[in-house]
Structure 1
Amino acid sequence: MTERTSRTVLLRGGTVYSPADPFATAMLIEGEQIAWVGSEGAADAYASVADEVLDLAGALVTPAFVDAHVHATATGLALTGLDLTGCPSLPEALRRIADHVRDHRHEGVLIGHGWDETGWPEGRPPTLAELDAAAQGAALYLSRTDVHSALASSALRARTPQLAEQPGHHPSAPLTRDAHHAVRRTALAELTDDQRRAAQLATLERAAALGIAALHECAGPEISSEHDLAALLALAAEQQGPEVYGYWGELSERGGVETARRLGAVGAGGDLFADGAFGSRTACLHSPYLDTPEDGDGHGTAYLTAAQIADHVTACTEAGLQAGFHAIGDAAVDAVIEGIRTAVDRLGPARVKAMRHRVEHTEALDDKAIAAFAELGLTASVQPAFDAAWGGPAGMYAQRLGAERAAGLNPFAALLRAGVPLALGSDAPVTHLDPWGTVRAAAFHRTPEHRISVRAAFAAHTRGGWRAIGRDQEGVLVPGAPASYAVWRTGELVVQAPDSRVAGWSTDPRSGTPGLPDLTPGTELPTCLRTVVRGRTVYRSELAG
């Protein structure tokens, strides 16, 4: 159970990560706000007036995380159902599918996630015949790890009207593009309200246990539904945290701005697709994929034109809503930039920049594109775990693009140097909710020149998420700020630079720089002991007492 409190709580005897005092060991909470941050000696004056005194026993207190890109229902379904993430081979995937069908076939359409053929010895996904044998007649939907293609059993395909006429349809291979969206709509339409609520609750509970105070839900007609987003926002309002901020990814010409307003979304964007993803070869590129199948066009898929993007950004800006676009490939990123420049020509740079329009994922950027992001005031909503999962000279990116092009992806350091705001997220269920793992992935990018410091990555995963929705005062532990924080059991605190060739470590108190956990690959990640959202405890570990 969570609790709502207006009491005064004193935390002491630990380390408080605060710019107000780099040596802070204590913090006072009054109701929903931070009232004071300071030293252990000064805390004595507050102990007698506090309703509760929490002995941190050396624990670390930080701002709670913000995951800037999630899909709550799909994440919950993966948490509670069939998750093939990390499955080592095609035969093992088919075995797990058959086991799941045997145990759950009475539940109607079965939904799973996470297969990735690029790591399998067979190097291919199941054929439709193989999938049907495992599905045993059940209607089955299995999204690929990037959620831009899917396996669908014959029983599910038969329930989807006019599927064979949709772009991206294949009679025996995974479905992409419109065909994928069609079978996903069919599968999700059969979820009951109880199933949806259970999945969404599972996501909120997992987020709270990981020290996450807020989630940016990226919904849309091709990802979920109006009903799904409305149910999630209503559920989050019933709970005491984590908070959920919704985005509705639909063009203004199709009513997206009006729908976003009606649903209470903060933006008409998020996963408004300008293109697809590298794994499914649907990210839109100027130069073709190296491993394009014979029947592929080689350059991926463009879902939006620059003119459509310009009209959408114009409408959103005039309505006072954020626009946002899913853009991964360089051709898609360039289309977004061109469209936003057109909106600037119409409305003026000040009005457009003030909205902090977003680009989700934005993996393939050159120096010219990064400069345009800075010029246009765009926020880059990025997922460092993508690089951890698929980067490196032998990873999926290199398979699709070649090692040289792959090494240019996700240039976090260049974005920060140019002054582009970063907001970090997981894109769960594409990668798991894992905030400290996300910070580690940014700090230890597989391409060293793209690495950023742990401190910069942590800021992008806390304050950056709040700034992305225009809440500049949040995500930092200073007097007057909202009391949204997490308590961690961790090892030695250090100041960790992004480049191992220079001095990357410091525990010298004379630096005046607050330390964070050592996130060197192989070290144990911090354990969350408590998560508090606006003064309300939403998670407490048994270890915390």
Structure 2
Amino acid sequence: MLALLNAVIHTLDPARPRASALLVRGDRIAAVGDDRQVLSAASGPVERLDLKRRAVVPGLIDAHIHLLSYGLSLRVVDLDNLPSLHRCVEKVRERVKQTAQGAWVTGRGWNYTVWEEGRPPHRSDLDPVSPGHPVLLTSKNGHQAWCNTSALRLAGVDRNTPDPRGGRIERDARGEPTGVLSEEAIGLVSIHVPPPGDLRSAFLDAQRIASAQGLTGFHDCDAHGYDGIAMRGLLEDLHHSGDLALRAYLMVPDHRIDEAIASGWRTGDGSDHVRVGPVKAFADGALGPRTADLLDPYEGEPDNRGIVVADDEQLLDLTTKAHRNGLRVAVHAIGDRAVRRCLDAFEKSQQHVPGDFRPRVEHVQIVHPDDLPRFKRLGAVASMQPIHATSDMHMADRFWGSRSRRSYAWRSLLDAGAALAFGSDCPVEPLGPLAGLHAAVTRQRPDGVPRGGWTPEQRITLTEALRAYTYGSAYAAGQEADLGTLAPGKFADLVVLSQDPFALPPEEIPRAEVAMTMVGGRIVYESGTQEIRKPDPFFLSS
């Protein structure tokens, strides 16, 4: 047994919101209270850990992340936060020099909306620095790719290639491909990129960073290549070897639903560490490339309301098929029309297959006021990423105009009774949940911009934000009986912080650094070391 003593514990348990001590027996919490109460509840030898008034919160669960993709992204050309097209091209030039002739050069993270040049990229920008290499660079939001001419030629993409359903080949005035591919068109080229090497080490690289940021669990949303079906075996092997330090909830891509059903997969199947999640689908695109599906056109683009990736019939058919076969659904929907279409599909599906399926809308970046109460009525979860608000605020104002006042509407959704689950969307945005909590509470970037917060009426309290990152994520996965709060009988998943975020001014929340992360009574991270401790027989046998 392990007793955590002399702490400031925020349990998020309504029955006992605050405590100073906690007792761990095996992988679960045995007692919560003050030091005396916890020690008196112990039987047999007890290891005591004095936390010296550090804060303790429930384990943080990222409800929307692409963790293996993040690990792999650490190995490709990093174009994130570069201020110009020129800087991106120079980074590609450097990687080409280190790459064998004819081999692919891949990268991610470009965002032309912040470039000094003020224009989208073109294949001709890459061609001079990569004459002997095909190049594929995904955008920051993952909804566009930038290719050179070699990559397009290898994939057979030219002026005569039709746009695939749910995608678009960007073209110039003469009809020639510019090298930018949107949504489903990315697959025309990405299918030709050789698979990466050691997935195990890539995942472990990402896991080390995640544990150091206080994550104890994650809902993996990859839908292309490294999806839940592909990852389940890898993570189960890591669990059996004692190297898995996170609880995984793995989504199944919609194009593999028949395979999952034939294999007998059901949402919730698996172990306490690796579980089957919902079926993941896409209703629309994203804000940056202006492919999110909107009720009204984009500002200054009267003919553009975005891209419909899955139409109404497809969403209804998918939801109904999933629910009939014991699978839940999670649908990417950023635009307000996409959100509405998801809710319509959920409502119609419930008429055919009633039940507590907790369907998820991923992102919900803009929602019409009429649709706010529908989340509670339909039992739908709003799975959102608060860091998107402060990252995207200038784009939202530019492309959505006055509608941006109702975007990233956490306050409105909570007031309407919606269940809220928070995540990061890493590697689209940084992984750190403390940065997400800061964004949710302040609606500001770390530098304090904008003063007073962007659309401050949508701010929420720290308790509400933390609950969305813990209990909300657990609820979205149907695991609220075991995770999300610190209470007797629940798994001992928790985070020790260097400072109490509730005692800090909101703008200083990121100062509360992670000192220790525990998963199932096992310390998987301590400040100063990133070594993951193998299962301790003391904990397993006590």
> Letter of the aligned partner of 1:190 in structure 2?
P
Q: 2:498 is matched with which residue?
A: 489
- Using the aligned pairs only, state the percent identity: 30
Q: In the alignment, is the contact (CA less than 8 A) between 1:77 and 1:112 conserved in 2? A: no
Q: 2:211 is matched with which residue?
A: 208
Q: 1:53 is matched with which residue?
A: 48
Matches within 5 A, 1:13-162: 13-18=6-11, 19=13, 20-43=15-38, 45=40, 49-105=44-100, 108-161=103-156
SS class of match (1:359): strand
> Letter of the aligned partner of 1:468 in structure 2?
A
Q: 1:416 is matched with which residue?
A: 414
Q: Does 1:452 align with 2:460?
A: yes
How many angstroms apart in 2 are the aligned matches of 1:307 and 1:108? Answer: 41
How many angstroms apart in 1 are the aligned matches of 2:493 and 2:431? Answer: 18
Displacement of 1:315 in angstroms is 1.5
Q: Which structure 2 residue ranges, 5 or more long, are not aligned? A: 171-176, 444-453, 532-542
Q: In the alignment, is the contact (CA less than 8 A) between 2:228 and 2:276 conserved in 1? A: no
Displacement of 1:258 in angstroms is 4.0
How many angstroms apart in 2 are the aligned matches of 1:183 and 1:237? Answer: 34
Displacement of 1:15 in angstroms is 1.1
SS class of match (1:457): helix
Q: 1:396 is matched with which residue?
A: 395
Q: 204, 217, 221: which one pairs with 1:218?
A: 221
Q: Does 1:299 align with 2:296?
A: no
TM-score by length of 2: 0.85
Q: In the alignment, is the contact (CA less than 8 A) between 1:251 and 1:257 conserved in 2? A: no
Q: 1:333 is matched with which residue?
A: 339
Q: In the alignment, is the contact (CA less than 8 A) between 1:260 and 1:266 conserved in 2? A: no
- Deviations 1:94-117, CA, capped at 9 Å, x for gaps: 222222332345794332211111
Distance 1:226 1:32, change over 3 A: closer
Q: 2:538 is matched with which residue?
A: none
SS class of match (1:464): helix
Q: 253, 261, 273: which one pairs with 1:249?
A: 253
Distance 1:297 1:180, change over 3 A: farther
How many angstroms apart in 1 are the aligned matches of 2:307 and 2:333? Answer: 11
Displacement of 1:299 in angstroms is 1.2
Q: In the alignment, is the contact (CA less than 8 A) between 2:410 and 2:458 conserved in 1? A: yes
Q: 1:538 is matched with which residue?
A: 524
Displacement of 1:43 in angstroms is 4.7
How many angstroms apart in 2 are the aligned matches of 1:113 and 1:33? Answer: 40
How many angstroms apart in 1 are the aligned matches of 2:398 and 2:62? Answer: 29
Matches within 5 A, 1:135-534: 135-161=130-156, 164-167=161-164, 168-170=168-170, 171-187=177-193, 189-192=194-197, 194=198, 196-220=199-223, 222=224, 224=226, 228-238=230-240, 239-250=243-254, 257-258=261-262, 261=265, 266-270=276-280, 272-292=281-301, 297-348=303-354, 351=355, 354-391=356-393, 395-402=394-401, 404-445=402-443, 446-473=454-481, 474-490=483-499, 493=501, 516=502, 518=504, 520-521=506-507, 524-534=510-520
Q: In the alignment, is the contact (CA less than 8 A) between 1:71 and 1:427 conserved in 2? A: yes
How many angstroms apart in 2 are the aligned matches of 1:93 and 1:535? Answer: 44
SS class of match (1:456): helix
How many angstroms apart in 2 are the aligned matches of 1:48 and 1:332? Answer: 55
How many angstroms apart in 2 are the aligned matches of 1:87 and 1:522? Answer: 26
SS class of match (2:133): coil
Displacement of 1:156 in angstroms is 2.6
Q: 2, 6, 29: which one pairs with 1:9?
A: 2
Displacement of 1:521 in angstroms is 2.7
TM-score by length of 1: 0.85
CA RMSD of aligned residues (A): 2.6
How many angstroms apart in 1 are the aligned matches of 2:344 and 2:369? Answer: 15
Displacement of 1:230 in angstroms is 3.8
Task: Give the number of equivalent residue pairs.
Answer: 499
- Deviations 1:470-508, CA, capped at 9 Å, x for gaps: 011211111111101111101x55xxxxxxxxxxxxxxx
Distance 1:105 1:69, change over 3 A: farther
Q: In the alignment, is the contact (CA less than 8 A) between 1:72 and 1:199 conserved in 2? A: no
Displacement of 1:42 in angstroms is 3.6
> Letter of the aligned partner of 2:431 in structure 1?
L
- Deviations 1:107-129, CA, capped at 9 Å, x for gaps: 94332211111111211233211
| Farther off after superposition, 298-307 or 38-47 | 38-47
Displacement of 1:436 in angstroms is 0.9
How many angstroms apart in 2 are the aligned matches of 1:10 and 1:318? Answer: 45
> Letter of the aligned partner of 2:459 in structure 1?
R
Q: 1:508 is matched with which residue?
A: none
Q: Which structure 1 residue ranges, 5 or more long, are not aligned? A: 1-7, 494-515
Displacement of 1:231 in angstroms is 5.0
Displacement of 1:22 in angstroms is 4.2
How many angstroms apart in 2 are the aligned matches of 1:242 and 1:236? Answer: 10
> Letter of the aligned partner of 2:2 in structure 1?
V
